[in-house]
Each structure stands twice: as structure tokens, then as C-alpha cells.
Amino acid sequence: MNPAIKLSVLVAEDESLLRMMATDMFEDAGFRVVEASSGEAAAELLKAAPVSALFTDVELLGTMNGFQLAKISYERDPHAAILVVSGRQLPKPDDLPPGAIFLSKPYDLQRVLQSLQQLIDNKAS
């Protein structure tokens, strides 16, 4: 990643401590972060401004889950990187949009950053 370009990550996580930890992780890695605790709030943020990446839990507040949010993100911008995480659900074959990566909780912070960088590099090429 070119340090002169500050990429943005939307963190969608309903548990405030986990959202805070993810935000810190991405900010420490040089990303600009926007946060949402519900699928609906995250979808509104996606409408308002493009993001370079979406990092979402499957279970979110509201009626929209992370799989649905990932599909909305992909429809709005197929070039955005998408990471979906869950400690309770594994994705079914049609749950993830093309190119998205699923990671099980608890996740390794370094693996999250490596996966995100892999997605960004793949989307850029």
C-alpha cells in the first residue's frame, strides 16, 4: 500500500469493544476508519461515500446481517475489499460476494491485515 494514499475501511460490528479493537487495528495500519454498529447504518455509510474496504461481522444490530451488507457493498463497488467475520456462523456457498474473504472469530489481527492487503492488491491488479 502506498502510504501517501490513505485507504478507508468501514468497520461494521455491533459489539463496541470488538469494533473499537478493529478500528484501532486498521488505524494503526494506516487506514482511515468509519464505524457502524448496525447493518442499516453501515449501508447508509456505503451510500454516502465510497470505501476501500468493508470489515463486517455477520451478526449486526438491526435486520440486516453482514452477509447482506457484503453483497450491498459489492453491488455498489465491486472493487472494494470485503472481509466478513463470525464466531457463530460459517458462510453458505452463496453468502459471500465474489472475492470476499471469510475469517472465523477469534481472528488473528495479523491475519486480518494480511487478508485485507491481499484483497486490496488483487482488486488493484
For residue 89, what pLDDT is reported? 86
Residue 5: the pLDDT is 56
Per the listing, cell 447508509 goes with 44
Pick the CATH number of 8-124 from 3.50.50.60, 3.40.50.2300, 3.100.10.10, 3.30.420.40: 3.40.50.2300
Q: Is the pTM of this model over 0.75?
A: yes
- Each residue's pLDDT expressed in tens, for the chain with a length of 125 residues: 444 457 899 999 999 999 999 999 999 999 999 999 999 999 999 999 889 999 999 999 999 999 999 999 999 999 999 999 998 889 998 999 999 999 998 888 889 999 998 998 887 76
> Is residue 6 a contact partner of residue 51, using CB atoms and an 8 Å limit?
no
d(CA 108, CA 104): 9
The continuous run of DSSP H or E covering 9 comes out as: strand 8-12
Element (H, E) at 94: none
Strands, E, within 1-125: which ranges?
8-12, 32-36, 53-57, 81-86, 101-104
